[in-house]
Structure 1
Amino acid sequence: MKPGLSQFVSEDPNLFQCMGLALAAGGLTVLTLPPFSWLIAVPVAFSVLFIVLRNISTSRAFLVGWAFGLGQFGIGISWIAESFYVDAERFGALAIPAVAGLSAGLAIFPGMAALLFAAIMQRRAFGGIAAGLLFASCWVATEWLRGHVLTGFPWNLAAYALVDYAALRQPAAWVGSYGLGFLTVFIGILPGVLTVAAPKRRAPVLVLFAVAVTGLWVGGALRSGQDVPPTDVALRIVQGNVPQVEKWALGSRERTLEKYLGLSAQPGRFDVLLWPETAFPGFLDEDAAARTRISAALPDDRVLLTGVPDRVEGDGGTRYFNTVKVYDGRGEVLTGYAKHHLVPFGEYVPLKGWLPIERLTVGLGDFTPGPGPRTLAVPGAPLVAAAICYEIIFPGHVVDDLFRPDWIFNATNDAWFGTSIGPEQHLASARMRAVEEGLPVVRAANTGISAIIDAKGEIIARLETGQTGVIDASLPTALAPTPYARFGDWTSLALICAVWALAFIVGLARRRFNSENSKSEES
């Protein structure tokens, strides 16, 4: 009979064997996420890591967790290499080193989770369900750190394994993506807990697994069953499908504008016209002729929301902004929003005085961040929040909490990532923001994926990557503010504390019961 995984890791395992196993398990997590969404891979990947970590030293634990993260990010964000090949002559040679370096850096966070788990296990000797709770708590704590340290990069959170399952993604409305990630990882490692548990302790684990999965599904189904009717506001999203390599080429501006104007002028009624990030490859505010042509596509007081670069002259020189602006039928700017969460090395170079690195994007200088989330008043439409490109990946940082909008407009440019899995993963983030905030998200992407997402995270309409066309559809209705919209990540912390308190009470009751039984037997 061959030894099982739990036997293998309990017999003074070889560090490199453990790291190899963790590396493979980390790579498997990519299959849990869109576009794959293989839910069965969640318990396999996380149970392997949990079992491997149970009986190894603290110093080894970090390396094993780091190897898991290397597999997780090395495959999960490999699509970033595509952006380096847009200008292959200048940046192509950096593609593999950049992805490898970023993956190795991000892998530090799973390494920290593993280190923390192993250190506490050695001091407290947790077992069974309590060990599972500890692992899930350590994991979500470091996921939260990854979303905030050094501007943050909360990409491919554990909760996104559930985004394609209507009922299972709904608890994000109450506890956010970090809280749902805690539940996902905890439930996911219960098969691992069952594997290493003593035979007489397996029944409670099985019962908990069944109750947790059923509760998550039923609770989510109740919310996903809510009716979200469309409003009477008609939207038109234009996806011009202009490849990034062509967008800023000499002489391409006129072709790009003609393409967007032609698509915008197709028959059909709309109240709001939506173009993606940098749909117009230039400073539109400085091009009166282009604005005049655009105004002709906006009859009867219709408006255009589009992503445009902007520059402002000041005493300190020229400042550049990545913005969403609202134009009326006269080509005048009504209002706008400046992106506040900029992409490192894409829109600015961190530590520019120290790092001899250029930005990947074409431009005259680094972008300046805006002041933060803002709600815009748009004629003919409900109040809207704008999130530009990867701003949509940050839970709790998309909407102005003091002035709640009725929908979110995500103008993005995923042309950098071609036909890779990157745009699908980006779309998953947008769907989770819709659930968390209880607000529809309308996504306009240069080359896809453009989509209309309702407040439950359901995709109403979409244009695939590489398609040219328009989406004509009604804006979905917003739901009432969710608990997460009201309290943010405090709901995640409350969930974790509540689960730990329940585990403590149950453990205390079990010890008291066993103590009383022992006294009865002695008497």
Structure 2
Amino acid sequence: MKPGLPQFVSEDPNLFPRTGLALVAGGLTVLTLPPFSWLIAVPVSFSVLFIVLRNISTSRAFLVGWAFGLGQFGIGISWIAESFYVDAERFGALAIPAVVGLSAGLAIFPASAAMLFAAIMQHRVLHGIKAGLLLATCWMATEWLRGHVLTGFPWNLAAYALVDHAALRQPAAWVGSYGMSFLTVFIGTLPSVLIAVAPKRRLSVFALFSVAMTGLWGGGTLWSSQDVPPTDITLRIVQGNVPQVEKWAPGSRKRTLEKYLRLSVRPGRFDLLLWPETAFPGFLDEDAIARTQISAALPDGRVLLTGAPDRVEGDGATRYFNTVQAYDGSGEILAGYAKHHLVPFGEYVPLKGLLPFERLTEGLGDFTPGPGPRTLAIPGAPLVGVAICYEIIFPGQVVDELLRPDWIFNGTNDAWFGTSIGPEQHLASARMRAVEEGLPVVRAANTGISAIIDASGEIVARLDIGQTGVIDARLPAAHAPTPYARFGDWTSLALICAAWGIAFAVGFTCQRFNRENTRSEEL
């Protein structure tokens, strides 16, 4: 061992095998997420990470964690390349460099978690369960940072491994997705802790693993057993299935509007008509003819919620917004919401003037962010919160804190993702927002996946990728405000503090018990 290294740290000649294992384990995390949702991959991937991080320096831990993140994001967000091929002539050559570059950047967060874990282990050696708690804590902290730094990108959180399992996703109502990531990673490391601890302690680790899984399942089952009947409001979601390459083509606006109107007037009763993000590829509030046609499709008292771009003149410049607007049968706008979490390089160019890039989407200029979450009051309908496309991926940032809505409308355009795994991952985020907030989430997507999600995260109805059609269904009812809805990410912090408190209390009790037994034997 080199002079100056703590006893915990050894000079590791096997760094490349460790980074290779970490890269593969990171790639396996994609199998934990929808559309796969293989629970077995959770302990495999995070146990491998725990093992390869043992007994190495902080610099090498950073490299190992970065390799894990590169596998995690390199595969998990590979669908981003699809958006570059929509306009392949202009942007196709950037597809692979963009995926690699973004994955390498996002991998810094797992790398930071690994480095922090190694640094703490060097200064205070933690064994067994406490070491697993430490890795889970570091992981959750860096996931939270990933969701906030530089406007944030909390895509594919570890918690989403549980979203397809009804009972296991319910604790998100208490501790949110970041808290669920902590639990997911901690439980995922326990098999490796079982291998690493002394034989006499393996029974207690196995018992903890069993209790944790049983507790998650049992508690989630009780929480999800709330039997709340749906409301009397009937929704009609229209999925036009307009290819992205055609959406903004010259002359396509009329064809797109006619398609949405044709689907909207199908036989059947509805109270609210829902169209997806930018369903109307133009400035609808300025197009009197289009509004007249829409009015004819709305029975008396019915309301349309649709995505449409908007522009506002002022101060010698024009500002553009990505909005959802509400219209009644008179063709008058009732309310509107402007997207506040904009997609970098999709809706605006960060550091414009310094970076030699342009937007990937058609338009006259960069979009301007709106003021934040807002609840809309629409005649004849429950209060609605709006999250446009990308906004639904942000835990705790989709609901107006001053006026809680009764449901969330998520208008989106996942045509950018093609037929990749991207839309399923996007849907997973929407389902977790429903559980966290105790509110139904209704998705209207251009090419899928449109869905009605109840307040427990269960999909009531859906239209898959590439389908053209409508969903007619009743709006699910809201639950009472959840602990997470009331206190936000503070509940995640409380969970971590409680876990560490219990761990140290149990450890202290066991040490005292062992000392008393030793003293008794000496006497």
**1:79, CA displacement in angstroms?**
0.1
Partners of 2:243 and 2:471 in 1: CA distance: 19
**1:11, CA displacement in angstroms?**
8.8
Partners of 1:217 and 1:351 in 2: CA distance: 46
Identify the residue that residue 136 of structure 1 maps to in structure 2: 136
Partners of 1:289 and 1:316 in 2: CA distance: 28
The ranges of structure 1 where at least 4 consecutive aligned residues each deviate by more than 3 angstroms after the TM superposition are 9-13
Residue 325 of structure 1 aligns to a residue whose secondary structure is: strand
Residue segments in structure 1 that go unaligned for 5+ positions in a row = 1-8
Residue 231 of structure 2 aligns to a residue whose secondary structure is: strand
Identify the residue that residue 457 of structure 2 maps to in structure 1: 457
Identify the residue that residue 332 of structure 1 maps to in structure 2: 332
**1:481, CA displacement in angstroms?**
0.1
Whether 1:417 aligns to 2:417 is yes
Residue 511 of structure 2 aligns to a residue whose secondary structure is: helix
Whether 1:476 aligns to 2:476 is yes
Identify the residue that residue 206 of structure 1 maps to in structure 2: 206
Residue 93 of structure 1 aligns to a residue whose secondary structure is: helix
Whether 1:247 aligns to 2:223 is no
Identify the residue that residue 88 of structure 1 maps to in structure 2: 88
- Does the CA-based 8 Å contact 1:237-1:273 persist in structure 2? yes
Partners of 2:198 and 2:518 in 1: CA distance: 20
Question: One-letter code of the match for 2:237?
Answer: I
Identify the residue that residue 522 of structure 1 maps to in structure 2: 522
**1:56, CA displacement in angstroms?**
1.1
Question: One-letter code of the match for 2:307?
Answer: G
Question: One-letter code of the match for 1:505?
Answer: A
Using the size of structure 1 for normalisation, the TM-score is 0.98
Identify the residue that residue 351 of structure 2 maps to in structure 1: 351
Question: One-letter code of the match for 1:324?
Answer: V
Identify the residue that residue 393 of structure 1 maps to in structure 2: 393
Partners of 1:54 and 1:201 in 2: CA distance: 18
Partners of 1:70 and 1:229 in 2: CA distance: 44
Partners of 2:435 and 2:373 in 1: CA distance: 18
Aligned length: 515
Partners of 1:192 and 1:403 in 2: CA distance: 46
Question: One-letter code of the match for 1:420?
Answer: S
Residue-by-residue CA offset, 1:157-189 (whole Å, 9 max, x unaligned): 000000000000000000000001111110111
- Does the CA-based 8 Å contact 1:187-1:212 persist in structure 2? yes
Question: One-letter code of the match for 1:198?
Answer: A
Residue 372 of structure 1 aligns to a residue whose secondary structure is: coil
**1:402, CA displacement in angstroms?**
1.2
Identify the residue that residue 70 of structure 2 maps to in structure 1: 70
Question: One-letter code of the match for 1:200?
Answer: K
Residue 31 of structure 2 aligns to a residue whose secondary structure is: helix
Residue-by-residue CA offset, 1:328-363 (whole Å, 9 max, x unaligned): 101110011000000000000000010010000100
Residue 232 of structure 2 aligns to a residue whose secondary structure is: strand
Task: Provide closer, same or farther for how the CA distance between residues 520 and 316 of structure 1 changes in structure 2, counting only shifts above 3 A.
Answer: farther
Question: One-letter code of the match for 1:114?
Answer: A
1:257-268 superposed matches below 5 A: 257-268=257-268
**1:518, CA displacement in angstroms?**
2.1
Partners of 2:28 and 2:69 in 1: CA distance: 11
Partners of 2:167 and 2:485 in 1: CA distance: 19
Identify the residue that residue 161 of structure 2 maps to in structure 1: 161
Residue 268 of structure 1 aligns to a residue whose secondary structure is: coil
Identify the residue that residue 5 of structure 2 maps to in structure 1: none
Identify the residue that residue 6 of structure 1 maps to in structure 2: none
RMSD: 1.0
Question: One-letter code of the match for 1:463?
Answer: L
**1:228, CA displacement in angstroms?**
2.5
Residue 410 of structure 1 aligns to a residue whose secondary structure is: strand
**1:514, CA displacement in angstroms?**
1.5
- Does the CA-based 8 Å contact 1:434-1:455 persist in structure 2? yes
Question: One-letter code of the match for 2:249?
Answer: A
- Does the CA-based 8 Å contact 1:228-1:455 persist in structure 2? no
1:19-34 superposed matches below 5 A: 19-34=19-34
- Does the CA-based 8 Å contact 1:228-1:454 persist in structure 2? no
Partners of 2:203 and 2:473 in 1: CA distance: 51
- Quick one: percent identity of the two aligned structures? 84
Question: One-letter code of the match for 1:87?
Answer: D
- Does the CA-based 8 Å contact 2:10-2:57 persist in structure 1? no
Residue 79 of structure 2 aligns to a residue whose secondary structure is: helix
Using the size of structure 2 for normalisation, the TM-score is 0.98
Partners of 1:299 and 1:363 in 2: CA distance: 33
- Does the CA-based 8 Å contact 2:11-2:56 persist in structure 1? no
**1:243, CA displacement in angstroms?**
0.5
Task: Provide closer, same or farther for how the CA distance between residues 430 and 322 of structure 1 changes in structure 2, counting only shifts above 3 A.
Answer: same
Partners of 1:118 and 1:460 in 2: CA distance: 45
**1:286, CA displacement in angstroms?**
1.0
Identify the residue that residue 60 of structure 2 maps to in structure 1: 60
Partners of 1:79 and 1:372 in 2: CA distance: 28
